[in-house]
Copies of this chain bind each other. A is one copy, B any other.
Amino acid sequence: MSVLIVGSTALDSIKTPKAENPRLLGGSASHAAVAASFFGPVKLVGVVGDDFPKRYVQLYRRHGIDLEGLQRLPGKTFHWSGEYETNMNNRRTLLTELGVFETFTPTLPKAYQTSPFVLLANIAPALQLHVLDQMRRPKFIAADTMDLWLNIALADLLKLLKRIDCFVLNDGEAYQLTKADNVVTAIKKLHQLGPKYVIIKKGEHGAIVSTPKGFFIAPAFPLHRVVDPTGAGDSFVGGMMGYLATARGAIDDNLRRAVVYGTVVASFCCEGFGLNRTTKLKRGHIELRVRELAGLTKF
Contacts and interface: CB of A to CB of B under 8 A. Distances in A.
A181 B204 CA distance: 12
A282 to B, nearest CB: 22
Indicate the size class of the contact surface on chain A: 35 or more
Nearest to A223: B184
A204 B87 CA distance: 21
How often does this chain occur in the complex, in copies?
A: 2
Nearest to A17: B181
B296 A182 contact: no
Query: Which of A86, A222, A226, A259 has the largest count of B CB atoms less than 10 A from its CB?
Result: A222
A256 interface: yes
User: Which 8 pairs from chain A and chain B are nearest by CB?
Assistant: A205-B205, A256-B299, A87-B181, A217-B219, A184-B224, A217-B296, A217-B297, A260-B299
24 contacts: A87-B182, A88-B181, A88-B182, A182-B223, A182-B225, A183-B204, A184-B222, A185-B224, A205-B205, A208-B222, A215-B296, A217-B219, A217-B220, A217-B222, A217-B296, A218-B299, A219-B219, A219-B297, A256-B298, A256-B299, A257-B299, A259-B299, A260-B299, A297-B297
